[in-house]
Amino acid sequence: MSIKLPSLPYDYGALEPYLDARTMEIHHTKHHGGYVSNLNKLLEGREELAKLTLEEILRDIRVVPEEIRQGVRNHGGGHLNHSLFWQIMAPGRGGEPDGRVRDAIASTFTSFSGFKDKFTSADLTRFGSGWAWLGVNTEGRLEIISTPNQDSPLMLGLRPILGIDVWEHAYYLKYQNRRADYLAAWWNVVNWPRVAEFYTRTLEVVGGRK
């Protein structure tokens, strides 16, 4: 398996003024790029893992030989987490979700604003580096979790449809220590139509809410 750094679906400056171009460029080329090249080094010559997808590997990390397990967890998680993150943002988006995902959010979290409050609290209470996620659990229900470092939500049985990076490298140049300001700005670039696609696609795999 040789992984390539995916291109962003927009320019580095496209999410201004909410996310600045310099942060986006460093984040994509240096941070995500670093996870990809480290992951490729770890997986080189590991024929036993070649027939599995990275998603399958992270869902059951014990399949990875112990001497490279932590590395694959960090760099493989980093690659998948960022690959999703770039896609669930877009210029000129924000607002509220539509359709099926909106209904599921409203019924699971009482309302869209109830969801935002819970998601915000998952972000703000994550101590140190990590992520907050909205995803579909093994029962087909929406759930909010946060993960430390680059742990993938797949390791906890959650298939993510939305996530926010709360590592300082995601916001420090523009927001310094003000994580809450970064988060408040981030809602303006959430690409809800894309999240809705991920939701529909995930339900097809998981089987949907009973």
Token reading at 123: 């972000």
Q: Which stretch binds Mn ion (CB under 5 A): 9-17, 28-36, 148-156, 193-201?
A: 28-36
Dihedral-angle region of residue 151 (phi above 0 means left; psi in -120 to 50 means alpha; beta otherwise): beta
Of 156, 210, 174, 141, give the one whose Cα is nearest residue 26.
174
CB of 196 to Mn ion, least distance (A): 24
Residue 165 φ/ψ, nearest 5 degrees: -80, 120
Q: Which stretch binds Mn ion (CB under 5 A): 27-35, 137-145, 184-192, 194-202?
A: 27-35
Q: Which stretch binds Mn ion (CB under 5 A): 99-107, 142-150, 166-174, 198-206?
A: 166-174
CB of 110 to Mn ion, least distance (A): 30
Q: Which stretch binds Mn ion (CB under 5 A): 34-42, 92-100, 164-172, 180-188?
A: 164-172
CB of 32 to Mn ion, least distance (A): 7
* Burial class (CB within 10 angstroms; exposed 0-12, middle 13-18, buried 19+) of 200: middle
- Give the CB-nearest residue to Mn ion: 165
Label residues 106-133 b or e (16+ Cβ within 10 Å = b): bebbeeeeebeeebbebbeebeeebbbb
Strand partners, 132: 146, 164
Residues 65-84 that bind Mn ion (CB under 5 A): none
* Under rule CB under 5 A, residue 165 binds Mn ion: yes
> Is the Cβ of residue 24 or residue 144 nearer to Mn ion in the bound state?
24
* Under rule CB under 5 A, residue 123 binds Mn ion: no
> Is the Cβ of residue 81 or residue 191 nearer to Mn ion in the bound state?
81
List of residues contacting Mn ion (CB under 5 A): 31, 165, 167
